[in-house]
Structure 1
Amino acid sequence: MASPPAPVAPPVAHRDSGSLRPVIGVALVAALGGLLFGYDTGVISGALLTIESDFGLTPLSSGVVVSSILVGAMIGAAGAGNLADRHGRRPVLVTAAAIFTLGAAMASFAPSAAILTAARVVLGLGIGVASNLVPVFIAEIAPPLYRGRLVGLNQLMITLGIVLAYVSNYALEHVNHSWRWMFGIAAVPAVLFGAGMLAMPESPRWLALRGHTERARAALTRLRGPDDPAAVEAELAEAATRAGDTAERTARKNRWRTLTSRSVRPMIVAGVGLQILGQASGVNTVIYYAPKIFESSGLGSSSSILATVGVGVVNLVMTPVGMVTVDRIGRTKLLALGAFTMTLALAGLAATLAAGGQHSSVAWLAVAFVILFIAAVATTLNVVVFIIPSELYPLRIRGTAMSATMFSNWTMNFLVSLTFLTLLDTLGGAGTFTLYAAVCALLTVFALRCVPETRGKSLEQIEQELLTK
């Protein structure tokens, strides 16, 4: 008969902002992975026009170049977690930086569309690894009371990376072979990311899991500061207790098999279900195809591009609002509120498109509903989509579980992006966005019924509570 879980000490709260400075610095360095994620995702929008001209691409080959990054992301997300559980978070993130650098160089000097496609797959590998491990690494170094907003730095940097990609596209538009420069300059933050991660401590929780107590203590002291050694010892004892208990229960189990065990299954349902429904809500189709949506509502080409810039700005500006809010009202309430608002916004967009006509007032009403939708996504779904799974999973299988989670994210992203234009042609704008609104309504119910609240709890407390339910 299994022994009951050991009692867990209460979480250690940091009493002053000064003690947060070291962990904020480490989180910012790790979040450079999110910046590269955003930049390498967004840069293709401006680069594609000159790529098509230089290589004489057809619509099909252009689609292959664009979508190849998603294939790489699926592979990277699937493989990164198991490596991180075996070898640590930091070395795998350093490897991701090297992959980003290699991909930027390959894309910049690509002599053919085939090599460029291969480079995009390499960049996708880096994105998949970063999307998996950056939230996990930040979650494992962060104090409980500030973990949500610190993990949210990843999403903020993703949106910043997208905006920087748009800016570089604009700035380099008239440079010869501009797309080569657009891809190549990404090597600079990639090198900074790798050098920065080499100087960062390993996750103290992973070190505790592996029995490296002294290294875990040193890492925690660096992250929390030397002024409160008792708090460091208390947090280390909590991490070591759960690490030992987790190791005892899962040492003889295959990590992937553990994901389907009865105790872990509700966590996987919550984490993977959030990714599937979040992507199926159509959030990325709005980002990818905003100009087409606006043109279908009656805006001209230049006005559609201007409105799309507004979408990007709203996405960037509203993300910090969600970062501040997530630790105050909690993950579940924020997600449910956001999904409900997304439902209303998409229903309004569908009704506007159904009204038809090419009147400018109707077109700008459609823009307003899209802006409302993006604002809701930026402050809620996009903030918690990485935070929630990084907190839910048991320590020993956290990386592997995140692999399954982010693989489902990228796979659904690929499928939704692939089918959007077909849905638009088949169902029309009104029918397509009514379908997405229904998914958002389902996401609202899912958030309230299936996603446990984790606000203000240590990772060890969350693990104990969920495994003993």
Structure 2
Amino acid sequence: MATAAQSRRYVRLVSWIAALGGLLFGYDTGVMSGALLFIGPEFGMTPTQEGWVTSMLLVGAAIGAMSGGRVADAIGRRTTLIIGGVVFVLGSLWCAVAGSVASLGAARTLLGVAVGAVSIVVPMYLSEQVPAAVRGRMVSLNTLMIVVGQLVAYLVNSALAHTGNWHLMLGLAAVPGAMLAIGMAFLPDTPVFYARTHRSNKASAVASRAGMSQQEVDEIIADHAAAEGRGQWQALRSSRWLYLTVAVAAVIGVIQQVTGVNAIVYFAPTLMNQVGMSTTNSVYTSIVIGLVSVVACWVGLQIIDRVGRRRLLLGGLMINVISLVVLAVVYGQAKGHPGLALLSLVVMAIFIASQQAAVSPTTWLLISEIVPMRVRGVGMGLAGLALWGANWAVAQFFLPLVSLLSAGATFLIFATLGLAAFAFVRVMVPETKGRSLEAVGEQFRQRFERATRS
């Protein structure tokens, strides 16, 4: 039995290495915000083509998210993350040498498959690998690494802005990809995967090393024994409470995207360029967004296990809605007015702060906690598909909507969707703080079975 100090060190090591997947996720989604300013003129791209190249990563991510959970169930969470790191390396290098819009789009799609798979499997790995008491902080470390990755992308873009070298901007993602693959090779898989593959002794040993109680280990083994012999799709179709629970997790994934966070992440430089900032200065505005994201996410990481997931998510959504309404008014008047342009950037920063301190970490965490153990692979995949599908829609249609309706009207649409998301969370999402994954699943089972009987 590991001592408490040994368990804490082990959990931190495991969490930091696995969270390199979040760093890659953040870098590859953030790097296009600056690189696009140089790729577009070089290839003579239209706004629709710019949206297409950006969103193809998200098409691949939807595929990766849908398949990543099943692959992780089949070959293990650890092996899936190693393969994901290798694909990151290959996709990044392909992006760097792409010579046409079609080639870049294809490379971004391959990269997206790795992004989507890793975005699901890292929270799955972490939520299954650490004790309930610290699960919020450790799983949310992945979200912190996402915004750190985005900040690194913004800094790289800014450092290379004077050269216009978008090839290097995109290719540098190969470095953390290699680090993820190598680091995961030295870590074990999770107790849940070992229980699924009938290695109870190994499950107990890994769980004990992480400081989990014997009760948590027994619940994991018992839950998988109860589901023995039934396929996950069969279990999902035949059990109303299971598919309703997965549906709630999928809606939570959509909630992360419906207020348009990635419209700001992907297109903040483009938006600021449209109201009069120079191309180089527009790239630099991403650093502001990135710094705010990292600080806010770090704050969220410190409080999520104390405040609770549900309360934090509701507060973040409400600040999002208010910020979007203000932004709709201010940005619409900002063209040719430097003061209003600067105010628009400040409001964007407030919006990003509430998103990264509250909405993003709680949604990723809740998805990893809510999906029941017996349909873990399929359920996480479906929730990830919903999240990445919403992300794709924002990336693909944001700039065309701005051209068609105006930026102000588009921000008001996001605000309305944010209000709908707030209402859903109030009614359907319970608090999961400090509870084992099995206990969370049992709460949903009782809720939906009671609703069926009534």
Same fold (TM over 0.5): yes
Preserved contact between residue 158 and residue 283 of structure 2 (Cα < 8 Å): no
- Quote the Cα distance in structure 2 between the aligned partners of 1:368 and 1:19: 42
Which residue of the partner structure matches residue 315 of structure 2? 337
Q: Paired residue for 1:411, among 364, 389, 393?
A: 389
1:401 aligns to 2:379 (yes or no):
yes
User: 1: CA distance between counterparts of 2:92 and 2:277?
Assistant: 36
Deviations 1:106-144 (A, max 9, x none): 223345443333221111111010111100100001111
1:83 and 2:71 correspond: yes
Q: Say whether 1:193 aligns with 2:193.
A: no
State which drifts further: 66-75 or 195-204: 66-75
Question: Is the counterpart of residue 377 in structure 1 residue 355 in structure 2?
Answer: yes
- Does the CA contact (< 8 Å) of 2:96 and 2:167 recur in 1? yes
**Corresponding residue to 2:132 among 139, 144, 148:** 144
2:149 aligned residue: 161
For 2:224, give the aligned amino acid: A
CA distance in 1, matches of 2:127, 2:39: 39
The yes-or-no answer on 1:132 pairing with 2:110 is: no
Give the Cα–Cα distance (whole angstroms) in 2 for the partners of residues 401 and 30 of structure 1: 21
Partner residue, 2:33? 45
Counterpart amino acid of residue 140 in structure 2: G
- Report if aligned partners of 1:39, 1:162 keep a CA contact under 8 Å in 2: yes
SS in 1 for 2:198: coil
Give the letter for the 1:240 counterpart.
I
Residue 351 of structure 1 is matched in structure 2 by 329
Give the distance between the partners of 2:423 and 2:413, measured in 1 at CA: 16
Helix, strand or coil: the match of 1:409? helix
Q: Does structure 2 retain, via aligned residues, the 8 Å contact 1:107–1:116?
A: yes
Question: Is 1:221 the counterpart of 2:199 in the alignment?
Answer: no
- 1:205 paired residue number: 192
How far the C-alpha of 1:303 sits from its partner, in A, is 5.8
**Range with greater deviation from structure 2 (38-47 or 187-196):** 38-47
Residue from 202, 225, 240 that aligns with 1:244: 225
The question of whether the paired residues in 2 share the 8 Å contact of 1:35 and 1:160 is answered with yes
Deviates more, 1:60-69 or 1:417-426: 60-69
Q: How many Å separate the matches in 1 of 2:271 and 2:108?
A: 26
Question: Is the CA contact (8 Å cut-off) linking 1:136 and 1:399 kept in structure 2?
Answer: no
CA distance in 2, matches of 1:133, 1:352: 40
5+ long unaligned stretches in structure 2: 448-454
2:22 is aligned to 34
CA 1:214–1:464 in structure 2 vs 1: closer, same or farther (change >3 Å)?
A: same
Distance in 2 between the 1:406 and 1:55 partners?
A: 32
- What amino acid is aligned across from residue 158 of structure 1 in structure 2? I
5+ residue gaps in structure 1?
Answer: 1-13, 225-230
Residue aligned with 1:351, SS: helix
TM-score by length of 2: 0.90
**Identity percentage over the alignment?**
35
120-129 or 179-188, which deviates more: 179-188
Paired residue for 2:343? Answer: 365
In the TM superposition, what whole-angstrom CA distance separates every residue of 1:118-172 from its partner, at most 9, and x where no partner exists?
A: 2211111110101111001000011111101101111111111111112222333
1:445-468 CA-partner distances (Å, limit 9, x unpaired): 111111121100111221222223
**Change over 3 Å in CA distance of 1:63–1:445 after alignment to 2:** closer
State how far apart, in whole Å, the 2-side matches of 1:144 and 1:75 are. 30
Per the TM alignment, residue 290 of structure 1 is displaced from its structure 2 partner at its CA by 1.9
Q: Give the direction of change, closer, same or farther, for the CA distance of 1:96–1:17 in structure 2 (3 Å limit).
A: same
Q: Which whole-Å CA distance do the structure 1 matches of 2:409 and 2:38 have between them?
A: 34
Residues 1:254 and 1:208: Cα distance change in structure 2 (over 3 Å): closer
Q: Does 1:68 align with 2:56?
A: yes
Aligned to 1:10: none
Q: Which amino acid aligns with 2:144?
A: L
Between structure 1 and structure 2, the one with the greater Rg is 1
Map residues 194-343 of structure 1 onto 2, 5 A cutoff.
194-224=181-211, 232-245=213-226, 247-248=227-228, 251-255=229-233, 258=236, 261-294=239-272, 304-343=282-321
Answer yes or no: is the 8 Å Cα contact 2:40–2:50 preserved in 1. Answer: yes
CA distance in 2, matches of 1:59, 1:373: 25
- Displacement, 1:424? 2.1
Do the aligned residues in 1 keep the contact of 2:34 with 2:283 (CA within 8 Å)? no
What amino acid sits opposite 1:398 in the alignment?
A: R
Question: Is the 2:330–2:344 Cα contact (8 Å) retained in structure 1?
Answer: yes
The more displaced of 106-115 and 39-48 is: 106-115
One-letter amino acid of the counterpart of residue 245, structure 2: M
Answer whether contact 2:232 2:378 (CA < 8 A) is retained.
no
Residue 233 of structure 1 and its aligned partner are, at CA, apart by 3.4
Distance (Å, rounded) in 2 between the aligned partners of 1:433 and 1:450: 26
Q: How far apart are the structure 2 equivalents of 1:162 and 1:45? A: 10
Amino acid at match of 1:20: R
Deviations 1:271-297 (A, max 9, x none): 111222331211111222223444566
- Residue 420 of structure 1 is aligned with which of 394, 398, 407? 398
Q: Is the 8 A contact 1:93 1:133 kept in 2?
A: yes
Aligned 8 A contact 1:89 1:133 in 2? yes
TM-score by length of 1: 0.87
Q: Distance in 1 between matches of 2:341 and 2:133?
A: 43
CA distance in 2, matches of 1:59, 1:294: 15
User: 1:450 is matched with which residue: 428, 434, 448?
Assistant: 428
Equivalent position of 2:452 in the other structure: none
Matched, 1:109 2:106: no
Aligned-pair distance for 1:202?
0.6
